[in-house]
Structures are given as structure tokens and as C-alpha cells.
Chain A
């Protein structure tokens, strides 16, 4: 290749490059020109490489010309790229402002059922207080649901709980108190256990009742004298203050359950009217929350414990009821109808 052809070639590269740059409107186009001309295998890069084959005396002149062109193109490309970037920024800033009140993208969060949420909160309190969680079956036999819990056959106490009977003499548990028997017959004291679960009674689904509902049974058993009615009061008061707030006012009323003796019902000062009397508390100022008592000696005997040596307390609470009170609504059906407009509020 002669010097003159190289000169011509340099001129050609320059003309084409400038032509291409003048048509470049996007930084990417400028970049592609740079790669084509100045890249590792670019036109000018190749040419400069080829200069090594020229006779030594001719090299400085054309070499200088080539390097001049390289510098010139580099500068122009850099300037053009800078210019294009500046223009894009100006364009972006010149755009009209967003209507920031338009909706954001929807991410369709699902919901956990309110009962699950309340149950979770309650279990968290009990486990923090040192109780373990045990799950027990829904299908039960007469012994675990009634007999061992001191419900004699044909006793009117069984009528408090209208039972669904299944084949083979089995039944759907009417309360989670079967948990006491199921756990105690396998293990020895000391025990502190809560058993959440589903229960069933023959009530039509209505504002106040459901044929299926949830309860949480809890109990604590230890050596006689270590677990007393006083501990029961202390433990339940602590739970209720954790659940309803530290200012919750708690009272105990005598009651009857076949499986506890003494038996009591526990009320909380109405959280809606602060005790003044309202619709929720039926003007009494108190809301009934749970039933409790000292485990009946016959129950301890039924699981092979000696009531002279061991004693314990037990309690049971309806979880829908707690949820209704917490949410300030009254209709039990809300939990089982699954109206998405209700569920969406959680």
C-alpha cells in the first residue's frame, strides 16, 4: 500500500465517520460508529496496525496523519455523546409532570382468615407464658369427650352440648376439653398445655351459633398445692390483660362444669362501654369470656392420677367469641360465609 492510497483511505474513513456521526441521534448509534472505526477491529485501528508494513521512512508521516485522525474522531465522538446525553436529560426534564394521584400498580395481597389471626395471637400469648401446644382429634369417643370428663351417662349436663353422633359409637367432639384427657393419659405432671381446635354442636348456623366452631382448652397440672385456684386466677388475669390490654378488669363468677370443681366463669369489664352498660354486654357491664376451674378429682382419676397427690386447673374459651369481641361485630355467620368483602378488611 502506498502512502497516497493510505492518505486516500484516511480521508475516506474520516468522511464516512463524520457522515455517520452527523446522522446519529442516539448514544447507541454513536457507540456503534466508535466501535466500527475505533474499536479493536475498527477500520482506523486496522489501518494503523497495517502501517507497520510500510518502509520505515514513510511511517512517521502517515502515522502522524492517522493518529491525528484518531484523536479528531475520538474528540468528536466524545463531544457528540456528551451532547446527546445532555439533550436526553433536557428532554426528560421537559416532559409534563406525572399525575401522581393515578393509582399505583395493584399487587393483590391475599388475606389470612380473621379466626386464624386471632388464634395465632392467642397461641403466641400462651406459648410466651410457658404453655406448649397440643393438637387432638375432632372425631372422638364417648370416653374422651364425656366419660373421662365426669359426664355420667344420661346426665343432663350432656344436654348443654348437643352432640353429632357418628357410626361406631363415635362422635364429633363438642369441646376441646378432650385435649386434657388425650394429653394426661399419655404423660405425667408437671404439664402446662393449650389445645386449640374445632368443635361441633347441633346448632343451626345463626347470628349466635354455628354447628362448627373453635375453642382453646388449656390446663396446668402439678403436685398438690403447687397449682391452686389462686394460680388459675393469676394466669387467666395475665392472659386476658395480654389479649385485651393491661387495663382490662377481670372478675370470676361461680358456675358449673362437670369436669371442674370449683368451677367459675370469667368476665372482662365491657371494652365497649367501659362497664356502663351497652348492647354488646347486654347492659351488664361485663362480657363473659371463658369457663374455668380446678380439675375435678374424677377427671384426674380417669387418667390414672391420684387427686391426693396432684391438682390442676383448666380453662376453655370460644375463639369465635373472642374474635367477635375483638372486632366489635356480633354475627357468627361472618366467619363461615366467607364474603370476600368481609375478609378483605383483615
Chain B
């Protein structure tokens, strides 16, 4: 809501400085986002009355005018405008005045044009000039000189009477404070904050007709139209006033200026007045062309069978049976509270109008406005709740302005159909609750004083209880806690002390998840990986290609930002690949990253979310000395990182890397991928090089991109951060090597496993691989696997003879089980 300080002054004659108002409003919950300084684009221009207009002796199109500028004197000016008439009020630039410079792209707002001088025009001296709106930088209108209404007096400074020298506060109004979406509402708040008196604008009006039922009958009420509410649950009050003799035209300059300062576009005098009253009082009004309303009837009802309405913006809207509409005798003429219908719109030829001022239920307006994606200034206010007692005042205010600015007269009485007479709700406040919520003791008198300042009437009761009756414009106050806030907020809670909390209790919740993720992060950072965070959205295509580890399908977003973000990701891999691409486009030569994040999927119809670890490694590892080759990322560098992680979680022995041609991951290189299985049968994840086809689509070179995705949920469930710590051995170990020649397709892991099993109970401490050899010295189809076996006894030094015997026993068993030969 934009608040011009000049407008605020009509409610509070003496206001504090704009900066002070802004600070206090902000502390009290109405944040002032900016203060705009408004300055006129001219200087030295005053109001002048045209006394006489004569033809210029030497030019057909020019006139010579005598003008009266009040205390500033009378002047003779040459004028070229076609609309100059004796008796009109206009704007006179005195000699020395400065006008708005011609519009150009790089002009700054503070610059003024060259001073006006006394000039001789075709032989006649001109002592100044009468100005158009364009010459004063007020609009693009250059068709004639400015016409001012007779509220101005000759000699007045034009900038002052047109509110051109002003400050405008931009106030962010929270959704609960619909009452502050008006100058009046903000003025009430400012008055309360500074303890000032509020002056209401004076209203002159005939007594309105009051109707207690749901119908205001035309004949009975001496009105040109009848009004009926047939949906009282959605519209408890509907007031209307017909006016005759209206002349549609442009609004007075001061009114147009004010609308523009508040961010609204002037349209015509009738529409502008309705908008002006809405800005001033917070009550949206709508003007119908009375002659376009059929059967002289207004019915407020649900759309029901009526399916269509063409709104002001020339869009045909398909109605829902529950949409609230304003109908005439035949069908809908407006989408209640949201937008008027095109058919009944006020046009240039309109003579008679019907002004509507209603209270619509916030929920129905919100629903309709959201369904059509149509937010208007009116719907915005109705949704937030307008003052249920404000309808008639707004109509009266509008009629006063209509008379002045559009020349209308009221036809018949004001109609006011009020189905639910509003009663001010009462809320009880106890001092004990105030203290219990705020932590500060306030006296009953102080509480009452603060509430009264906000327009809330209070009655004192025994036992420190106060009954507050809530004014109609503050229906956001619903219960005691709301009033406690009102008591404390005006000075930004500054009388609430800051008290330290004693922790409620000792807390020893072990957060395994965080421990596991912290451990993994430390490990991966040690391996040289950068942690990244990518967005959790994916396209349907990405989700199809990278299906992830679990679930049957992806979760679609019903209202996505774009199709590229149409679903929730099932896998971290697309985000990591995008990160690689992003960095390669920015001169990166390598990319080693990981992410710990959530994925989402459908499983048996349920929406599931789960944490994953994703790794992507590409290019040289930043490891090595000057002049030495650094290792290139490949399957085994990445596998090493994963093994490091598993070791850190105590899972190294529970996880197998399995080549499983039957369940290949399609987007990984078929010969360079592995499944990770936990406890033999649970799928923990996969690791592999990106499929060369995919890599070439991504425009990568031949170096492998290795990726890995692990199910963190399983790691968290299984991983053990506890260690079985053993003291370092006291006796030396003895090493014996073993070279086994086996078929080439026997996995080395299996050879190792067999040897380790064979050594059980034989004081075998560890088996380490140190060479794999295939070559000329071996039979075709065979490879040699060289292992180093380490033996140790806990209680003594083993002798050579003893070890030789054990080792021979182990070798024989391994040879038998693997069908191997010794090399």
C-alpha cells in the first residue's frame, strides 16, 4: 500500500517526519519498504484565472490573454492553446519559472528546463506563459492548457495544490491487516503510534434507506432499481446508489495525481472516483452503467446454471456454479468482488450509473480470484476482509465526489440490504495471561490505555480482567493472544525484557543420521571431493533415464515452474552431471564432487523420500608433485573413495562390488559398472563409468566420468560408528607370498576370499593383493594372482618351519578350491 504523506494529512493535520512515521510503522509490524521523495518537474508556476481573451493582432492561431494571479498581480500573456476561455482556471508560468525539460532517455528527474523569459511574440509582449500538462511534466497531454477546478484560488502555488511536493511511503501490509489497505486505516495506525487525533472526512448525505430483509424493493423505496441478496452466506451486505446526469470525462488533475502516486492508472472520472474512495477508505466500489442493467434488478447470487461471463478485460470466463456473481434480471453482470462484466461497463456515453458497495465473504472471493488467476485491487481487499460497517460511508463519500467531479445527482434513496447486522465482538483479556505470554507485568490501566489508542473500547472487570470490544475494522483480532500482541507491538516489544532460558533438560538424543553424514563428508573431503547442492527437481525424461535406486515411478509436481522442473528427482546423478557440464563450460579441467541430498519416488502408490549419496569424478585428481603425472579419475579411483567411506562406517567387509550383467544400469558403461550389495542381497547402490554414448551426447572427451549413487538410508541403518579397537600386536608377523594361476574370468575378489577362508584358524592375519599378471609366460586364458599372506600369533614369535607348514597347507587348499596351479 502506497501512502502519500499529503493524503495522510487530511486525516492527521500535523504529522511527524516521513522517516519517523516509517520507523514506527515498521517496528509495529507494518514494514515501510521505501520512502519516495516526490518533486515537481517545474518551479515558479502558479494558479491564474483567465479574465479576457482577445485575438492576436498579427496571428490567427494565437490569442492575447489577461490573467489574474491573485496577490502576484495581473499579467498579459500570448497563448496558442485552442481551449483557452475567459473565466477558466489554469497554470501560469511566471517570468523566471522553470518548466519540465523535454523528455529524453538520459534525463535525470532532478533536472529542470531553462527559465521562462519575457518574450515578444509577433509584436506582442508576453509576461509568462499558460502551460499544458506536458510542459509541466504531469502527463503527455499537449492538446491545450491545464484546466483546474474552482477549489484552486489565483496565486496558489501549483505544486502544493496538486500534491506534487510529497513523500510516499511504500508499506508492506501483512495478510491479516486488510484494514491497513487504505489511507484511513494507515492514518488510524499512525494516530495510535504517535498518540495523535484522527480527523474523519466530513460526509454530507441523505439518510439511507435501511432494509432488514434480503430484498430492497424498488417501488417501495423510490429507487430506480431493486436489490436482492439470494446468497446471504457469501454476501451479507449489499449497498447501492443510483446517480443520474453523469458526464463521463477526464478526472481533475489532483485526483489523477493521487491515483498515480498510489500506483493506479486513471481511466475516467466515474471509475477514478470509485478507485479513489477505495484507496481512501478501503472499501472497493463498482460502477455499473444503470441503463445496461436489465429488468431494473440486481440479484447477488451463485452463478448456478449461468456458465459464462465476459469480464472487463475482454476475457470470456467459464463460471463455476459456486462462483458469486452480481446478476441483473437476465444473467451475470459482474464477478462479485473480483471484476466487472464488459456488458455493463461504464462507457463514454453513460449517463446513469449504479454504484455498488458490498461486503463479500473473503473465502469466496479468494477461491474465485485464484481459480481465474485474477487478482484485482478489489479482490485483494475483499480477500483480506473489508470493514463490515464501511459500505454506506464509502457510498456517501463517492456520491459527494461524483457530484463534484462528474456532475451526477442521486436518484432515490441509498439502498442498503444488510442481512447480518454486525455486532462488535467482545474478547476478555486477563492481566495474568498478558504477563504469562509477554513475560512482563502491565497494569490494567496501561493495558486499557494501549487498547483504546487502537480504537478498541474497554470495560474493566474484577480480578484484573478487561473486556475489549473489537471495532468492525479490526476483525483480525479474534482471541486473547491477538490482543496481547496489540498491547505489545506498538513499540516493537521494547518493554518486553530479554530473559535467558534455562535448558529444559539434558538432551542426549543421538542423531545417527547426522553422525553418518558428517562422517561421510569428512571422508569424501579427504578424498578431494567438493560438496555440491543441486535443485531437487528433474524433467520427466531425466527421471526416465536415471531411475535411481528405488520406487516404481517419479512424483509429478502439479504446478511446476517449467517442464524442465516438472518432477521431483529420483536420482542425484542428473544434477551432478549438470554440475560437471556447468563447470566444464567455465574452464574447469576436472570435476570431483559429491552431494548428500534427498530423492523422491512413488512406491506402491505412496510418496516416499530418501537420502542418497552421489559422487561424480572426472579428470585428473589433484594429487601429485610437479612434473609427475597425476592420476586420472577412473572406475578404480572412484571405487577407492567409496571403499574409504565404507571403511569409515565400519562396513568395508559387508559390502560387495558385484558385476551383474543381468541387471546392468543402462546409462553406465556395460563393462565398467558394479552393483554394491550389502550383506550379499540388499542393493546399496551402483558405481560405474558413464556410458560412452551419454558422454558423447554431453560433449565430453574420452576421459571417463565415474559416478556412484548410494542409498544412505541403508548405510544409516547398517553402518556402525563404533569400533572394535584392538591393541597393536606385540609379536612380529611373517609374510609368505602365494602366486595362483587361475582362469582369466575368475574375479580376483573371489580368489582373495577363498584364500582368506582357507586361512581361517591358521593364524593368517591378512591377505593382500600385490600383482595380477597375464602374459606370454602363462598358458592362454589364464592369469596369475599374487597375494601376500601375513601370519601372526598373539603370544609368541612364529618360527620359519611353523609358518612354512601352515602356508603350504593354505596353498594346497586354495589350489584345490579354485582349480588353480601354483606359479
Does chain B have a CB within 8 A of A32? no
Contact (Cβ within 8 A) A343 B531: yes
B384 contact set on A, CB distance < 8 A: 156
Within 8 Å CB of A227, what residues of B? 501
Stretch at the interface among B85-93, B363-371, B702-710, B803-811: B363-371
Question: A107 to chain B: which residues have CB within 8 Å?
Answer: 528, 622-623
Q: Which of B88-147 contact A (CB under 8 A)?
A: none
Q: Which of B240-248, B284-292, B588-596, B677-685 contacts A (4 or more CB under 8 A)?
A: B588-596
Q: Are B623 and A108 in contact (CB under 8 A)?
A: yes
Interface membership of B772, Cβ < 8 A: no
Report chain B residues within 8 Å CB of A165: 557-559
CA distance A109 to B530 in the complex (A): 8
Are the C-beta atoms of B507 and A106 separated by less than 8 Å?
Answer: no
Q: How far is the CA of A61 from the CA of B534 in the complex (A)?
A: 92
Does any Cβ of B come within 8 Å of A339's Cβ?
Answer: yes
The answer to the question of B26 belonging to the interface, with a C-beta cut-off of 8 Å to chain A, is: yes
| A-contact 0/1 string along B160-190, CB 8 Å cutoff | 0000000000000011110000000000000
Complex: how many Å from CA A192 to CA B530?
A: 34
Q: Are B439 and A157 in contact (CB under 8 A)?
A: no
Which among B176, B555, B593 is the interface contact of A338 at CB below 8 angstroms?
B593
Bound-complex Cα distance A191 to B507 (A): 10
Contact of B593 with A198 in the complex, beta carbons under 8 Å: no
B437 to chain A: closest residue by CB: A294
The B-contacting residues of A in range 179-237, CB under 8 angstroms, are: 190-192, 198, 200, 202, 204-205, 210-212, 220, 222, 224-225, 227-231, 233-235, 237
Given A106-B623, A254-B28, the answer on whether A112 and B489 have CB atoms closer than 8 Å is: no
Task: Say whether B534 contacts A336, CB under 8 Å.
Answer: yes
The verdict on A263 contacting chain B, using a C-beta distance below 8 Å, is: yes
B531 near A228 with CB under 8 A, answer: no
Question: A248: CB under 8 A from chain B?
Answer: no
A110 in contact with B524 (CB, 8 Å): yes
1/0 per residue, CB under 8 A from B, across A244-276: the answer is 000000011111101001111100000000000
Cβ-defined contact, A253 with B31, below 8 A: yes
A170 touches B499 (CB 8 A): no
Per the 8 Å Cβ criterion, residues 93-142 of A in contact with B are 102-103, 105-113, 115-116, 120, 123, 127, 129-133, 135, 137-139
- B49-66, CB under 8 A of A: which get 1 and which 0? 000000000000000000
Interface string of B31-52 (1 = CB under 8 A from A): 1000000000000000000000
Q: For A166, what are the chain B residues with a Cβ–Cβ distance below 8 Å? A: 555-558, 568, 607
Interface residues on A, range: 35 or more
Q: Collect the chain A residues with CB atoms within 8 Å of residue B439's CB.
A: 228-231
Given contacts A106-B622, A109-B528, A132-B507, whether A211 and B535 have CB atoms under 8 Å apart is yes
A340 touches B175 (CB 8 A): no
A interface secondary structure, majority? mixed
**Contacts A156-B175, A159-B175 given; does A168 touch B531 at CB 8 Å:** no
Cα distance A340–B27 in the bound complex, in angstroms: 41
In the bound complex, residues from chain B placing their C-beta under 8 Å from that of A230 are 438-440, 496-499
Say yes or no: is A341 at the interface (Cβ < 8 Å to chain B). Answer: yes
In the complex, what distance in Å separates the CA atom of A122 from the CA atom of B58? 84
With A155-B366, A230-B499, A297-B481 known as contacts, the answer to whether A252 contacts B493 (CB < 8 A) is yes
Contact across chains for A192 and B29 when beta carbons are under 8 A apart? no
Given the known interface contacts A105-B625, A113-B532, the answer about A135 and B492 at a Cβ–Cβ threshold of 8 Å is: no
- The reply to whether the CB of A281 lies closer than 8 angstroms to some CB of chain B is no
Tell me whether A110 and B493 are in contact in the complex, defined as CB-CB below 8 angstroms, given that A168-B607, A256-B176 are known contacts: no
What 0/1 readout, one digit per residue, does chain B (456-499) give for beta carbons within 8 Å of chain A? 00000000000000000000000111101100111011101111
Contact of B367 with A261 in the complex, beta carbons under 8 Å: no
In the assembled complex, B2 has its CB within 8 A of some CB on chain A? no
Known: A138-B609, A167-B556, A167-B607. Contact between A110 and B383, CB under 8 A? no
Please report which residues of chain B, range 590-619, place their CB below 8 angstroms from some CB of chain A when the two chains form the complex: 591-594, 598, 600, 607-609
Known A110-B592, A116-B521, A165-B558; further 16 A-B contacts with Cβ < 8 A:
A106-B623, A106-B624, A106-B625, A107-B528, A159-B175, A164-B557, A166-B568, A168-B607, A190-B504, A211-B535, A230-B497, A252-B494, A254-B488, A254-B490, A262-B481, A294-B484
- Could you show 17 A-B contacts with beta carbons less than 8 Å apart? A109-B526, A110-B524, A111-B531, A127-B507, A132-B509, A155-B175, A157-B176, A164-B558, A204-B561, A211-B537, A227-B501, A233-B497, A252-B492, A253-B28, A256-B174, A338-B593, A340-B593
| B residues with CB within 8 A of A | 26-29, 31, 174-177, 362-363, 366-367, 370, 383-384, 435-440, 479-482, 484-485, 488-490, 492-494, 496-501, 503-507, 509, 511, 513-514, 518, 521, 524-537, 555-561, 565, 568, 579, 582-583, 586, 588, 591-594, 598, 600, 607-609, 621-626, 630
The 6 closest A-B pairs by CB, nearest first: A130-B503, A230-B439, A228-B439, A108-B622, A254-B29, A262-B485
